Amino acid sequence: MAVFNYSEQNLVGNNFSNQNLNGSTFFKARLENVLLNGTQLRGTNFEEATLLNVTATNAIFAANSNFAPANFYKATLENVNLTGANLTGANLSLIDTKFINLSNANLTNAILHEANLSGEQSERPNLAGANFTGADLFKAKLKAADLTGANFTKCIFCGC
């Protein structure tokens, strides 16, 4: 399996659907109109990346025996569809989002320190059905989020 380095690249219109990109890096990359549907992205680094109009339905960002979870530290996600994505254990600290769709995504044990999942009514993030079991939401901003059916079992909401 090849590991790809897309650091600081401008990727527009790429279709990576159903590919194995485990361990690849998109550090400070800009992904626009990119398809990642069903893609394996375990251990992939999206630190400080900008994702615009990206569709990653049913993508796998969770760890396995060979790779850690994906890293989105300080990433910007705008109009990103992560419906059904497995983000178990993913680092989503300090992400900034607009029009993000996490419907039925699995965020079990995800790290969301100071994540901005908020927005005005017109930018309301869809977290319906998302699984936040054990997620760290310390200082996360969830204003106006649709949390219908979301699971917050054993969530950490404060540093107390």
Using the predicted structure, report yes or no on whether residue 160 has a pLDDT greater than 60: no
Residue 124: predicted pLDDT:
65
Q: Report the top-level CATH class of 1-160.
A: mainly beta
Task: Output phi, psi for 133, to 5 deg.
Answer: -50, 120
Position 53 confidence tier, pLDDT thresholds 50, 70, 90: very high
pLDDT single digits (tens) 75-112: 999 999 999 999 999 999 999 888 888 888 998 999 98
Mean pLDDT of the chain: 90
Q: Which of 104, 91, 95 is closest to 56 using CA atoms? A: 104
The pLDDT of residue 48 is above 70:
yes
Most confident of 78-82, 115-119, 134-138, 142-146: 78-82
Three-class SS string for 34-73? CECCCCECCCCECCCCEEECCECCCCECCCCCCCCCCECC
Please determine, for residue 51, whether its predicted confidence score (pLDDT) is greater than 70. Answer: yes
Instruction: Specify the pLDDT at position 75.
Output: 98
Residue extents of the structural domains in the chain? 1-160
- pTM for the predicted model, two decimal places: 0.88
- Among 111, 49, 102, smallest CA distance to 79 is for 102
- pLDDT value at 134 more than 90: no
